[in-house]
Homo-oligomer: A and B are copies of this chain.
Amino acid sequence: MFGRSYFCGEVPESAIGEKINLKGWVQRRRDLGGLIFIHLRDRTGIVQVVFNPETSKEALEVAEKVRSEYVVDVVGTVIARDESTFNPNLSTGKIEVQVEKMTIINESKTPPFMVEDDVEVSEDVRLKYRYLDLRRPVMFNTLKMRHQVTKVMRDFLDAEGFLDIETPILTKSTPEGARDYLVPSRVHPGEFYALPQSPQLFKQLLMVSGVERYYQIARCFRDEDLRADRQPEFTQLDIETSFMSAEEIQSMIEHMIQRIMKQVKGIDITVPFPRIPYDEAMGSYGSDKPDTRFELKLTDLSEVFQSSNFKVFAAAASTGGQVKAINVKKGATSYSRKDIDALTEYAARYGAKGLAWLKAEDDGLKGPIVKFFSEEELAAVNRILAVEKDDLILFVADKKKVVADALGALRLKIAKDLNLIDESKFNFLWVTDWPLLEYDEETGRYSAAHHPFTMPVREDIELLDSEPGKVRAQAYDIVLNGYELGGGSLRIFERDVQNKMFKALGFTEEEANEQFGFLLDAFDYGTPPHGGIALGLDRFVMLLTGRTNLRDTIAFPKTASASDLLTDAPGEVSQAQLLELNLASTVIK
C-alpha cells in the first residue's frame, strides 16, 4: 500500500476508529479557534486531517509550520464527521483524521500557482512548472486515462494474437512526406539518421517476415510548423496485419474501441460504426472527417441554378463547379446582417469569394439576392431544403473544393455558435472509398492521399498510368466527432504495382530504388497481402477526456515553437560535440 495505510482520497468510512498513516501534500491549511484543519492531498484525492491541542500539542505545533505543498507524514485516528460538517466535494467528506503525529518530509516554497483544477495562469507558466501543473487532479486524471486507454489496447491486441514489436527510432531519411528530424552520425561522417514519421516501412517488413499481427504504441516525429493540435513528437497505436480484409481490420478496431469506451469511460457504443464514402462525406458535410453529432448537411442545388439569372450561381453550376447550401434551422433570428457579414468573412478564409443568404420570413424567402431568383428556383429551394419560417439559408457557389471547404467550415462554426452539438456523444465512423491520389495544382503533380504504399482498388490499377486521378484506394479513415482519429489501408504487396504507384507519384525508377529499394526487394520474397491502421493516441485521449489541447494529454509536451519550457530544450551544445559530428553551425551569433 505504498508505505501507508490508505491513499488520502480513499480513506473509507469503515476505517472509523482505526489508527492510520497517511502521506501526502498539504492542499491548504485553515486555523480555526485553536484547531488546525489541513486538506491532505495525493493522486487519489483529499482527506481532512485535524490538529487539536488535546490530542497532540506537538502535532499542532508542527501543523503551525506547514504550508501549501509541504510533503508530510501523518499518523492519526479516523473519526466520523458531524453530519453538519460533511463535505460533499470530497470523496472522504464524511470522515476526518484526528492527528497524533505529523512529520514534515519536505518543505515547499510558495508555488507560482495553486494546485487545483481551475487555475488562472498562462500555459507557459504551467509548462515551465510542469511538475506542479501535473499535480492538478485534472492533469493527473488525464495521464491516468491515457494509461488506461493503452492498457485496454494492449490487452485487446494481445488476446487477438498481436505482438508488440519495437521498430527503430534511428532510421533512414525519406524526403517524401513531412520534414524529417535528422540525427548526425558520428561513426559515419557526413551521414544522418532520421527520426521516423511513422513505422510504416518497418511494419510492412514485419508482414514480409510472417509476423502476421504486429502492433506498437509508437513514437513518431515530424518537423513541421506546429499548430495547436500538432506536436513535434506524437504517439500512435500502430497496427499491421496479414491476410485480413479491410472490413476485417475495421471490425477488429471497432471492437477494440468499443472495449475502450466501456472500460475507460463506462459508455456503451454500438458497432459496426457507420461507413461514409469519401464522396458523400465531402458532399454532405464538406469534410473528409465529418462531425455527425448534428445535421446541418450541405445540399447540392447546382441543378436548380444551372441557368439561373443569378450569374454567380449559373456560372459555378454550369462550369463544373457547384452551388450548395446549408439550412440553418431557425437561424434567421440568431444571425443579424452583421453576423452574416462575419460568417462571410469566415467563409472567405476557406476560399469562398462570397456567401449568399436568404432568410425565411412570414411571406417567403427574403434577402439581397432573392430578386435574381425565379419562382421555380425559389420553390425548388423551399422544397429541397424543407424551408420553414425563420430558417437561414447560406449558399456558396464555387469550385467543388472551395464549396466543400467553406460550407464545411461554416457548418462547424454555426453548430458551435448555436450550441447544436451534444457534447456527450461519441460519434465514431469510417470514411471509406478514398481516392488514391490527389492532384496538386501548384506543383502539377499527383501526391498520395494517404501514403505511397496504399493499395489501389484492384480493377483500377491499370488506370494508374492513364487516369491516375480516377484510381480508388483501399483506404479507410476513422473519425470521432469531426476529428481524424486514424487512417489505414490495405498495402501494395507486389513489386510491379508499387513501381506503378511510384511512377504515378513522379518518382524516377532510380529515385524509387534509392529510397525504397529495400522494400521493393522485400516484395520479391513471398510477401503476404497485408494492411493496417494507425490511431493518434494523443488526440484520442484528448477527445476522451474532453480536453481541447493536445498538450494536456502529454506529460511533457512542447510549445508551438517546439520548445520544452521546463528543461529549456532545444539548447546550445559545445563546439566539441559538433566537431565530433563533423558539423559546423552556419548561425552567426
Contact = CB atoms under 8 A, between A and B. Distances in A.
A71 B527 contact: yes
9 contacts: A25-B526, A26-B526, A70-B526, A167-B556, A173-B573, A193-B569, A194-B569, A582-B587, A583-B584
A245 interface: yes
B561 A187 contact: yes
B572 A190 contact: yes
A42 B571 contact: no
Given A143-B211, A219-B219, A518-B566, 14 more contacts: A23-B243, A26-B526, A106-B493, A135-B209, A140-B209, A140-B211, A146-B165, A151-B164, A168-B564, A170-B181, A171-B569, A172-B571, A173-B571, A175-B577
**Which 10 pairs between the two chains have the least Cβ-Cβ distance?**
A190-B587, A108-B526, A134-B209, A172-B569, A69-B526, A191-B570, A131-B208, A185-B570, A147-B163, A172-B567
A299 B175 CA distance: 62
B212 A107 contact: no
Task: Output the residue of A69, A147, A151 with the most chain B CB within 10 A.
Answer: A147
A571 B192 contact: yes
A219 to B, nearest CB: 6
B195 A169 contact: yes
A558 to B, nearest CB: 7
Contacts of A179: 186, 580
A274 interface: no
Interface string A144-164: 101100110010001001011
A3 interface: yes
Given A144-B163, A175-B577, A245-B3, A170 B208 contact: no
Given A188-B563, A190-B589, A568 B528 contact: no
Contacts of A248: 3
Nearest to A220: B169
Interface in A189-211: 189-195, 201-202, 205-206, 208-211
A417 interface: no
Nearest to A566: B518
A235 interface: yes
A570 B188 contact: yes
Contacts of A563: 188
A185 B192 CA distance: 14
Interface in A527-566: 527-529, 554-556, 558, 561-564, 566
Contacts of A187: 225, 561-562
Contacts of A188: 561-563, 570
Interface of A: 2-4, 23, 25-26, 41-43, 69-71, 105-109, 111, 129-135, 140, 143-144, 146-147, 150-151, 154, 158, 161, 163-173, 175, 179-195, 201-202, 205-206, 208-213, 219, 221, 223, 225, 232-233, 235, 241-245, 248, 493-494, 518, 522, 524-529, 554-556, 558, 561-564, 566-574, 577, 579-587, 589
A339 B134 CA distance: 63
A568 to B, nearest CB: 6
Contact of A528 (B71, B574, B585): B71
B131 A212 contact: no
A584 B587 contact: no
Contacts of A526: 25-26, 69-71, 106-108
A569 B170 contact: yes
Given A135-B209, A190-B585, A221 B574 contact: no
Contacts of A587: 189-190, 582
A170 B132 CA distance: 21
A518 B128 CA distance: 9
A107 B524 CA distance: 7
A528 B105 CA distance: 7
Contacts of A147: 158, 163-165
A573 B182 contact: yes
A91 to B, nearest CB: 17
A192 B570 CA distance: 5
Contact of A244 (B2, B70, B522): B2
Given A164-B151, A165-B555, A169-B221, A574 B175 contact: yes
Contacts of A173: 569, 571, 573, 577
Contacts of A42: 210, 212
Nearest to A589: B190
A133 B164 CA distance: 18
Contact of A168 (B106, B233, B494, B573): B233
A183 to B, nearest CB: 5
Contacts of A569: 168, 170-173, 193-194
Nearest to A24: B210
A525 B131 contact: yes
Given A192-B572, A572-B192, A171 B585 contact: no
